[in-house]
């Protein structure tokens, strides 16, 4: 039986070899059985593409990515070791904590971050009162609005008026408060939806949102129903979770993978070391942006998700393959895109607003926060970030209308490589002129 199968395979392969290459009749009948085994080795080629050709369908470049990481580590390890041997460990955590405890007012950014807990507790208290009926919906809505309005204005006023707040510290503080603003807005909306569903006694709809079925949860994870979610533990899990959209029952991973956690921690430590060894104005700005993207959206957010066993790890999509500007903005920052879609864009559509106006409103909101996070820490208002975001609207229309495929992807990359560095350089120029009375060298 084995000989028959081998003979059949050899004759079939040899027939194909001679008929395709030499264009002659099948010569297999001229071979005796003892030579059949050799026929299998005569044909060793088949029609196929090189792996790096786009038509090959090959897409596994993990080894090349690892090579890039190894080269980056090796090229910067020497500088790191030289600095360590020459200067030693420059940051002593115990000394930093003691300085903060002895004189906390010298650390206004840290104080502002700690003060953000007040706004978290106000939001939780308001929702608890609403769940018990102590507050009407109108009173709860007004309290949430006041709380979130102060969240945006209070830290901005401190950053503008307190000279000891540095631009880096101000950017960090306003970033924290902006994230917290978006989280608490989502928290308000979801709890409001749960109350609406409970009030109309729609049991089927209520189970789908405020009390998910067992199939939607990990086995062994207890499900939470409204108002059982209004706890300090649930609130702070959401605050630290790498998402902007609130749910009563988040998907959870079964356990913490220590090897995965340590890899992400190493990346979080290594990438800032590499960035610090580069002079910002001598390195293409978009390369620094790409490094920041990997550090924040992959390393940091995966580290946090693994630590909290947060199951939804889709923090970004393949934005590098974007053929339209719209696809880029929908996929490079998934948490923000989900929030805009869930809490801003779709509510506008449900109110009868057209798609074009709703999309413009989303870009306007994004432009506001971009300018808020740049102009306030720098204490100057030039609207470069705001203008850059609003320009994306006509650019998205032009690219989507006239460019397709690789041309569209090239247009998106050109906008990243030229547009963002231009905006950054404008702020650097204006900051130096405003604070030093001269243009940067």
Q: Which residues are catalytic?
A: 370
CA of 283: how far to CAs of 9, 276, 278, 286, 428, in Å? 59, 12, 7, 9, 15
Query: For 131-139, which contacts have Cβ atoms below 8 Å and span 24 or more sequence positions?
Result: 131/191, 131/195, 131/226, 131/227, 131/230, 137/192, 137/195
Tokens of 356: 């074009």
Cis (ω within 30 of 0) for the bond into 227? yes
d(CA 271, CA 104): 30
Tokens of 101: 């405890």
Tokens 């706004």, residue located: 119
d(CA 431, CA 441): 13
């Amino acid at each position: 039986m084995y000989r028959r199968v081998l003979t059949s395979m050899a004759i079939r392969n040899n027939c194909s070899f001679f008929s395709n290459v030499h264009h002659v009749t099948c010569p297999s009948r001229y071979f005796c059985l003892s030579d059949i085994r050799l026929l299998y080795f005569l044909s060793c080629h088949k029609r196929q593409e090189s792996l790096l050709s786009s038509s090959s369908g090959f897409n596994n470049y993990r080894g090349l990515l690892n090579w890039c990481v190894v080269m980056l580590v090796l090229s910067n390890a020497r500088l790191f070791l030289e600095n360590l041997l020459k200067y030693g460990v420059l940051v002593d955590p115990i000394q930093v904590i003691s300085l903060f405890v002895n004189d906390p007012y010298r650390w206004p950014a840290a104080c502002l971050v700690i003060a953000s807990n007040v706004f978290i507790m106000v939001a939780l208290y308001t929702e608890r009162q609403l769940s018990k009926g102590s507050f009407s919906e109108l009173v709860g809505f007004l309290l949430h609005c006041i709380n979130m309005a102060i969240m945006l204005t209070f830290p901005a006023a401190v950053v503008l008026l307190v000279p000891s707040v540095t631009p880096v510290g101000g950017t960090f503080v306003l970033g924290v408060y902006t994230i917290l603003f978006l989280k608490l807005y989502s928290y308000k909306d979801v709890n409001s939806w749960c109350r609406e569903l409970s009030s109309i006694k729609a049991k089927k709809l209520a189970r789908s949102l405020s009390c998910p079925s067992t199939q939607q949860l990990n086995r062994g994870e207890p499900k939470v129903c409204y108002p059982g979610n209004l706890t300090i533990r649930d609130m702070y899990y959401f605050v630290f979770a790498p998402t902007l959209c609130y749910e009563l029952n988040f998907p959870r991973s079964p356990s913490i993978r220590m090897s995965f956690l340590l890899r992400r921690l190493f990346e979080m430590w290594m990438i800032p070391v590499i960035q610090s060894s580069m002079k910002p104005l001598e390195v293409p700005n978009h390369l620094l942006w790409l490094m920041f993207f990997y550090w924040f959206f992959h390393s940091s957010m995966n580290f946090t998700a693994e630590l909290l066993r947060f199951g939804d790890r889709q923090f970004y999509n393949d934005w590098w393959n974007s053929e339209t500007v719209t696809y880029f903005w929908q996929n490079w920052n998934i948490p923000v895109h989900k929030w805009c879609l869930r809490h801003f864009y779709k509510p506008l559509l449900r109110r009868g607003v057209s798609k074009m106006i709703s999309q413009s409103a989303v870009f306007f909101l994004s432009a506001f926060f971009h300018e808020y996070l740049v102009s306030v820490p720098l204490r100057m208002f030039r609207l470069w970030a705001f203008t850059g975001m609003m320009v994306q609207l006509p650019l998205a229309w032009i690219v989507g209308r006239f460019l397709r495929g690789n041309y569209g992807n090239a247009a998106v990359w050109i906008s990243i490589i030229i547009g963002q560095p231009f905006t950054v350089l404008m702020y650097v120029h204006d900051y130096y002129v405003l604070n030093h009375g001269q243009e940067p060298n």
